[in-house]
A and B are shown apart, each in its own frame.
Chain A
């Protein structure tokens, strides 16, 4: 995704009139837009006719019995899961993969959008399909599909030992493990969830339950030596290959690294931790007490708390700033660096940092309208539907993408200086 190539000239550009689409077709399903905002697409259907993709520039020529999972990839290509004659596959820019399957779902793409993996099933056997090529092995079940950062490897939780309905003893012996590129780890576990690849795409860590009451983290098939009352999703350090995860000990949650608890503090809850890009800070969503939610950075909680929840935590590219969404008394707020912006909303989406880490933008909803806020300053644009804001590569402008009240899809680039945002 090279944003430098996008059109960053300030101003509003009308891309498509969706009202016209709705006149032309019986059904227009939820549209999606490309990252650069230049394209919009939707699944459309005439009565009793196959589904087609309607698109601003080049509509797909071929129709399908069913189309779902429509999305643009980070490189602006359009992907969908399609079916014809009872078989399913993935189509990119209207071109289906060569192989078709009994069912396809759970599509993932790597950061650049060049590689695509999907879960698939044929004749009751389950496997993954990476860029159209199925795994050589198939399993009785498959879940938690994941794609490596380099897009060359896929992994999933698979069942390797079939068992009859009600065979609780076989289940407890362990029937599940992780398969990487179709090759299962040698050992099985009661349960295994939430896989994560290392940044170099070589290793995999996952949550696991190793007995009825013991949970731990498994890295490349080897469990940590210590078990815990519960664990949440692990993460690899960006550089040193260590693994951290929230773990439950005694009556509280803390953070463990390679099996050893590293935070002194105990929380009522702790999850969704993240590293700064340099790996020198760890932040997580935390509940310092029952019903009080905040962010903990390197084990220390913000003084600001919310009584409903905290979600959508994001670290700035330089790792020095944190933004999140908090909900208190049924209203949503934006919190940045332990301070709360003015105003509350009916819904707020994940905050977006500028490349230079200086600015934060969010999409929010109030009284049925979608609006945007940058560094606490509400923008004038109002939409009935909109997509996440994108900062320009020089961090001095923002791209907004939305559908106006009269059904027109527009992309709007504005300079931060227009709002005196420094």
Chain B
């Protein structure tokens, strides 16, 4: 299909977003009583909606400068309903004006807006003259929905998994440990003597991953083990709950469970007396560990240093703990994930890794903190198949961005975030972009010298 032909298809599609069928929202909402809705809203507004909520709501001048910052708005033919201010207007603004006396139908629509039409990406915050945090307002709406029990089914199931297993994929304790043993055995074929240390006290690094890794992407554990072993790192993973640093409860508005998950995670690292947590390539988990969960628990900062994989890989390459012997030769572009770039400022470190590992780099535009969200983040991809079509159609601008990078030669997208991978894969497929996506660990694993692991003597030099 030609470039223009494709655009035509998309512009038609964007006008008519498919009707979403998530029976759990109807089923849950239909059980609600009107006075239950107002009681929950009144309680939350009174107990949790403090000065911040009031300030934001009373400050918004409806100037519309946030609109062009939003990929939902841009991808839906600039329909004002999809602008950040428009989404606020349709949800929390009306809730406050009506003092919580809103209908069941209203809650269903508010749920759909808050959970599937805003990624909490905070791009609009950069363009708001007052810096109003629309993500905070949308999370407030999600919190209301959570307390009313009206949440999209698939993300709610993920949150339930978190509460029952302390990981988001219903991975049982034996399955997790067995996966580590399995990956160790596989990796020993390549690196004799390789270890994935389990529950080893006093290691320097507590390495954490997210639920999908043992479930779908076990090769990432393999790659991390190879990198750790070749670099001669002192590291461990835990056999107990707490290995999953992700936190979908943060996105369902379940603050109590968000805090509980982070307590288990931090205490797993503290129990083993590790010096720092190194996280795999995930964006929302990074935010939940470094910014959200810690504060819910009373820690201003995480109780021990938390290092994202980008920082860690940059450190390993800079300190020559791993040596790049052959750069990745296909032209790459880089997708800046919202939570670790706009939220975490790791964009230049990421480009530092690319500089050391890739022959050709094509910058995506806009980029760094101005990059557009993948439209999977904020829990939208976790809302599951009912919303997939809507999700990809509502990110035409990302397809345009990728297509532009491709026109400059990029064939591979590096995205150091699981949600971004999922979101971009769907966009590539739907918009027929014919590009592939990699994590940094894929690139580094392929380019590093694996034949000369650092010896103890060499490690001492650093």
Contacts and interface: CB of A to CB of B under 8 A. Distances in A.
Interface string B297-308: 111110101000
Contact of A165 (B170, B260, B270): B170
A307 interface: yes
Contacts of A237: none
Contacts of B195: 27, 29
B298 A268 contact: yes
Interface in A14-52: 26-27, 29-30, 47
Contacts of B259: 230
Given A106-B240, A119-B174, A176 B164 contact: yes
Nearest to B151: A168
Contacts of B24: 168-169
B5 interface: no
Given A308-B299, A347-B275, A212 B164 contact: no
A190 to B, nearest CB: 7
Contacts of A47: 192-193
By size class, the interface of chain B is 35 or more
B343 interface: no
Nearest to A172: B149
Interface in A162-216: 165-169, 171-172, 176, 190-191, 209, 212-213, 215
B27 interface: yes
Given A27-B193, A47-B192, A212-B149, A229 B256 contact: yes
B172 A141 contact: yes
In the A-B complex, the 4 residue pairs with the closest CB atoms: A291-B300, A269-B298, A287-B298, A103-B174
B239 interface: yes
Given A212-B147, A327-B303, A119 B173 contact: yes
B219 interface: no
Contact of B270 (A26, A30, A251, A311): A311
B239 A105 contact: yes
A349 B272 CA distance: 10
A131 B303 CA distance: 38
A230 B256 contact: yes
A297 to B, nearest CB: 19
A147 to B, nearest CB: 16
Contacts of A327: 303
26 contacts: A26-B193, A30-B201, A66-B181, A69-B199, A119-B174, A141-B165, A143-B164, A143-B241, A159-B164, A166-B154, A168-B151, A168-B156, A169-B28, A171-B160, A172-B149, A209-B163, A212-B147, A213-B147, A230-B259, A248-B256, A269-B298, A293-B298, A311-B303, A347-B202, A347-B275, A385-B202
B163 A190 contact: yes
Given A27-B193, A66-B181, A191 B163 contact: yes
A309 interface: yes
Report which residue of B164, B165, B260 has the largest number of chain A beta carbons within 10 angstroms of its beta carbon: B164
Nearest to B155: A168
Contacts of A171: 157, 160, 164
A269 B172 contact: no
Contacts of A176: 164
Interface in B134-183: 146-147, 149, 151, 153-154, 156-157, 160, 163-165, 170, 172-174, 177-178, 181
Nearest to A290: B298
Interface string B268-291: 001001010000000000000000
A159 B297 CA distance: 28
Contact of A290 (B173, B240, B300): B300
A290 B254 CA distance: 20
B192 A230 contact: no
B10 to A, nearest CB: 30
